[in-house]
Structure 1
Amino acid sequence: MRKIFAALAGLLVLLVVAQFFFAASGGFSTRPGEEAYKGHHMLGYVLFLWPIVMIVVAAIGRMPGRLIGLTAVIPALTAFQVVVAKIAIGMHDSGSGTGSEIVFGLHGIGGLLTGVFAGLILRQARAQLKPTATPPATA
């Protein structure tokens, strides 16, 4: 189970990188509004569900609670990202202008935090693969 979790953690990092790619490509797209960010939005659902699967695998594999807790941060950050985006879009649509740009800035910082946590999870998952030293047997 530890190898499976480590593989899932590696894929999580790749998903976060892909999420940044889709956000950037949406920002420079010529497609209108929400259509430009369709890939970013769809992958957001995956980024919410993927760590939940990881938590189940970690629990079955009796991984350390700290690692399970770190993994639970990802869906929480993803939910935060959705709330921040909805608030920023609402502010922009109401004509608040600069306020929405500041809130969208929080969305970017949330994305960076997601990447940091994904990296920490991968690092700790890989550390779980290393064999632990056993004390020498006494006769």
Structure 2
Amino acid sequence: MRRSFAGLATLLVLAVVAQFFLAASGAFDTAPNEESFQPHRMLGAGILLLTVLVTIVAAIARMPGRLIGLSGLVAGLAVVQFVIAAIAKAFDGTAGELVFGLHALNGLAIMTVASMIVRQAGQLSRPAAPARQAP
């Protein structure tokens, strides 16, 4: 089960990398914003579901409490992404753009915490090395 958790956490990191790619692609697309950022929004919803799944699997796999908490933190940060986007849309002009800048910073926080999870999960999912016996 720990390997499943490590695999899901790795998938999460790959999805976040793809999310950054889709955000950059949408920013430089000539189509209207609603159309150009649609793949970014869709993957964002998928990432939110994946973060909840990662948290549930962490608990089922009886991972250390810190890893379960970090997984829940990523899920919370994913929810904050949608809140930031909604608040930014409520403002016009520069104020909305400044608020929306928090969306990118929060995305970096998601990437950082998800990477920490992958590293720690990888260490925990490896079998322990057998003890060496003295000759």
Please list the CA deviations of residues 46-103 of structure 1 after superposition, one character each: whole Å capped at 9, or x if unmatched. 11110211122222211111101100111211111111111111212xxxx2211210
Q: Which residue of 2 aligns with 1:127?
A: 123
Matched ranges for 1:34-53 at <5 A: 34-53=34-53
Which stretches in structure 2 are left out of the alignment for 5+ residues?
Answer: none
Q: How many residues align?
A: 132
Q: Which residue of 1 aligns with 2:66?
A: 66
For 1:98, give the aligned amino acid. T
For 1:123, give the aligned amino acid. R
Contact 1:47-1:74 within 8 A present in 2 as well: no
Q: Which residue of 2 aligns with 1:116?
A: 112
- Whole-angstrom distance in 2 between the partners of 1:54 and 1:77: 14
For 1:71, give the aligned amino acid. S
- Whole-angstrom distance in 2 between the partners of 1:135 and 1:20: 43
- Percent identical across equivalent pairs? 50
Q: Does 1:89 align with 2:89?
A: yes
Contact 1:85-1:107 within 8 A present in 2 as well: yes
* TM-score calculated relative to the size of structure 1: 0.88
- Whole-angstrom distance in 2 between the partners of 1:104 and 1:55: 27
Structure 1 residue runs of 4 or more that deviate by more than 4 Å after TM superposition: 132-136
Q: Which residue of 1 aligns with 2:18?
A: 18
- Whole-angstrom distance in 2 between the partners of 1:58 and 1:71: 8
- The two structures, once aligned, show a CA RMSD in angstroms of 1.6
Contact 1:12-1:118 within 8 A present in 2 as well: yes
* TM-score calculated relative to the size of structure 2: 0.91
